[in-house]
Structure 1
Amino acid sequence: MARLGTGTGTCTRTGTGTRTAGLLDGMPQQRRSPQAARAAEAVPVRLPSVRRPWLLLPSPAATPFTLAYAAVLAVTSLVSAVADPSLVHALQQGSSTDVAHLVRAPMGVLVASALWIAGGVLTPYAFGFLLVLTALERRVGALRAAGVFLLGHILATLATEVPVGFAVLAGHLPGTSVHRLDYGISFGVAAATGALAGLVAPWLRWILLGLIGATIAQSLIAFTDPMTGWGHLISLVIGVATWPLVRYWHRSRTAAAAPRGG
Structure 2
Amino acid sequence: MRIVGGLSRVWAYVRGAPGTYVWLGVLFVTTVALHHMPPEFEEHFLRRRSTNLHELSRDPVRALVASAMWIESGHWVPYAFLYTVFHAPAERWLGTARWLAVCALAHVVASLVSEGMLLEAIRRGRAPYAAVDTLDVGVSYALAGVIAVLAYRIAAPWRYAYLLAVTAVFGLPLAAGPTFTDVGHFLAVLLGLACYPLVRGRGKAWNPKETLAGLRG
Q: Which moved more, 1:128-137 or 1:168-177?
A: 168-177
Conservation of the 8 A alpha-carbon contact between 2:49 and 2:67: yes
Which one has the largest radius of gyration? 1
Note the alpha carbon deviations across 1:131-156, whole angstroms, 9 max, x for none.
11101111111121111111101100
Q: Which moved more, 1:163-172 or 1:177-186?
A: 163-172
Q: Which has the higher contact order (CA 8 A, sep 6+)?
A: 2
Matched residues, number? 199
Go from structure 1 to structure 2 and tell me whether the alpha carbon gap of 1:58 and 1:165 turns closer, same or farther (over 3 Å shift).
farther
Go from structure 1 to structure 2 and tell me whether the alpha carbon gap of 1:211 and 1:117 turns closer, same or farther (over 3 Å shift).
farther
Aligned-partner Cα distance in 2 for 1:154–1:239: 12
**CA drift at 1:70:** 0.7
**CA drift at 1:180:** 1.3
Alignment of 1:165-244 (within 5 A): 165-223=119-177, 226-244=179-197
What is the TM-score normalised by the length of structure 1? 0.68
Conservation of the 8 A alpha-carbon contact between 1:140 and 1:250: no
What is the TM-score normalised by the length of structure 2? 0.80
Go from structure 1 to structure 2 and tell me whether the alpha carbon gap of 1:95 and 1:157 turns closer, same or farther (over 3 Å shift).
same
Residue identity in the other structure for 2:66: A
1:132 alignment partner, one of 69, 73, 86: 86
Go from structure 1 to structure 2 and tell me whether the alpha carbon gap of 1:74 and 1:125 turns closer, same or farther (over 3 Å shift).
closer
Quick check: which one's helix share is greater? Answer: 2
Of all paired residues, the percent bearing the same amino acid is 30
Conservation of the 8 A alpha-carbon contact between 1:156 and 1:234: yes
Question: Do residues 108 (structure 1) and 62 (structure 2) align?
Answer: yes
Instruction: Find runs of 4+ consecutive structure 1 residues off by over 6 angstroms.
Output: 54-58
Go from structure 1 to structure 2 and tell me whether the alpha carbon gap of 1:172 and 1:250 turns closer, same or farther (over 3 Å shift).
same
Go from structure 1 to structure 2 and tell me whether the alpha carbon gap of 1:56 and 1:120 turns closer, same or farther (over 3 Å shift).
farther
Q: Which consecutive unaligned segments of at least 5 residues does structure 1 have?
A: 1-51, 252-262
